[in-house]
């Protein structure tokens, strides 16, 4: 039985190397090098005990076929709630601290894009030899606040008065007012400013990059498939979102994962995973949104008797990109039927969990 299982392991973790065959062995087969397509790492032989095989994410390749990027999600202007001004003030003050550091040390600028270039130029010009200066937030007023359809805060525009002050008051204050844009759910961050000379935001909406979207969602699909994979003696993979029973999709997926009998199927992994983006739904004002992806793969499995099987599978998932890393938030069970039952619970998911 041990010899059968060892031979089966060589199949499971190396089956994706074209025409590869296990090398002859006089004793139990020791797992050999990694199969990148299978996504499962096997330890190298050791003169002592051979460690247990380790499970890793399967390698996911996304086709470069074109897909529609649709502005179907809309932000809604919302009333200011208690605590919003305090959160905005916190974000602006962190921004000003970053400007102080950049002016003093020239290391890290807290904003990027056209706005970042304009700020960097102004900071360099404002340096005064022999005088240390510090930015102080004199006043702040929220002019508009926007939320996503599920209620998560997305953008906050604030009118601010900022004083550039000499620390020892050896030079007169310099005062400036303007409109800053902050983004985020709880920890707001300055991302843009209004350019009075052009009547537009300095940065505006960053265009979606198809290649960037593919690169962002590939790890999410890989982690999703890893959660229904295992090696002999390996631990059960943990919950992906830590939302558990409160999330319809996670609850339904946990019930699905519980149907696997690890005593009957002692090892299972995905290989040759190829995905294609069907569509990406996003906002006019900010990046992110919901990406629908189809994929095909081979499932390699081993039963308790050491018998090996390769089975083609196909699936369809929805991947959400918001205030946290991209993650699968739904999957199709049968055509048109999704595990979530239509409730993606994005208000719970779209949170910065750092």
Q: Quick: pLDDT tens for 41-69.
A: 344 444 454 555 678 899 999 999 999 99
- State the average pLDDT for the chain: 85
Residue in 210, 274, 298, 220 with CA at minimum distance from that of residue 62: 274
Q: What angle do CA 56, 18, 30 make, to 5 degrees?
A: 55
Angle subtended by helix axes 84-105 and 113-126, to nearest 10: 60
- Inter-residue contact 269 to 55 (CB < 8 Å): yes
Domain residue ranges of the chain, discontinuous segments joined by +: 2-56+208-349, 75-201
Place of tokens 């959160």: 87
According to CATH, what is the number of the domain 75-201?
Answer: 3.10.450
| Local confidence band at 186 (pLDDT 50, 70, 90 cut-offs) | confident
Taking only the tens place, the pLDDT of each residue in 144-182 is 999 999 999 999 999 999 999 998 888 889 999 999 999
Asked if residues 338 and 45 have their Cβ atoms less than 8 Å apart, the reply is: no
Instruction: Please tell me the predicted confidence (pLDDT) of residue 117.
Output: 96
- DSSP for 39-83 reads TEE-PPP-SSPPPPPEE-PPPEEE------EEEEE--EE----TT
The per-residue pLDDT for 234 is 79
| pLDDT tens sequence across 220-240 | 999 999 999 999 987 776 555
- Note the pLDDT of residue 237: 67
> Model pTM greater than 0.95?
no
């Amino acid at each position: 039985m041990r010899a059968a299982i060892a031979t089966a392991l060589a199949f499971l973790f190396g089956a994706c190397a074209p025409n590869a065959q296990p090398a002859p062995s006089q004793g139990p087969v020791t797992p050999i090098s990694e199969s990148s397509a299978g996504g499962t790492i096997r330890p190298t032989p050791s003169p002592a005990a051979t460690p247990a095989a380790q499970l890793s994410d399967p390698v996911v390749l996304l086709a470069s076929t074109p897909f529609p990027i649709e502005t179907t999600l809309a932000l809604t202007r919302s009333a200011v709630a208690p605590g919003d001004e305090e959160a905005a003030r916190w974000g602006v003050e962190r921004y000003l601290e970053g400007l102080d550091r950049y002016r003093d040390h020239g290391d890290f600028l807290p904003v990027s894009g056209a706005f970042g270039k304009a700020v960097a130029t102004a900071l360099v010009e404002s340096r005064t030899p022999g005088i240390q200066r510090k930015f102080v937030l004199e006043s702040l007023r929220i002019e508009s606040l926007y939320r996503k359809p599920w209620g998560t805060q997305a953008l906050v525009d604030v009118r601010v008065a900022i004083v550039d002050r000499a620390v020892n008051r050896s030079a007169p204050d310099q005062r400036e007012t303007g409109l800053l844009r902050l983004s985020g759910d709880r920890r707001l961050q300055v991302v843009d400013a209004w350019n009075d000379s052009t009547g537009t935001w300095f940065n505006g909406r960053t265009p979606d990059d198809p290649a960037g979207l593919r690169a962002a969602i590939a790890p999410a699909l890989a982690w999703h498939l890893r959660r229904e994979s295992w090696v002999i003696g390996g631990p059960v993979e943990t919950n992906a979102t830590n939302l558990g029973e409160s999330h319809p999709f996670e609850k339904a997926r946990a019930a699905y994962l519980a149907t696997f009998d690890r005593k009957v199927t002692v090892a299972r992994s995905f290989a040759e995973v190829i995905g294609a983006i069907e569509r990406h739904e996003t906002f006019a004002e900010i990046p992110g949104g919901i990406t629908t992806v189809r994929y095909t793969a081979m499932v390699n499995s081993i039963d308790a008797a050491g018998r090996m099987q390769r089975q083609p599978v196909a699936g369809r998932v929805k991947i959400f990109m918001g205030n946290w890393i991209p993650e699968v938030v739904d999957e199709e069970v049968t055509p048109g039927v999704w595990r979530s039952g239509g409730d993606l619970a994005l208000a719970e998911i779209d949170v910065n969990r750092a």
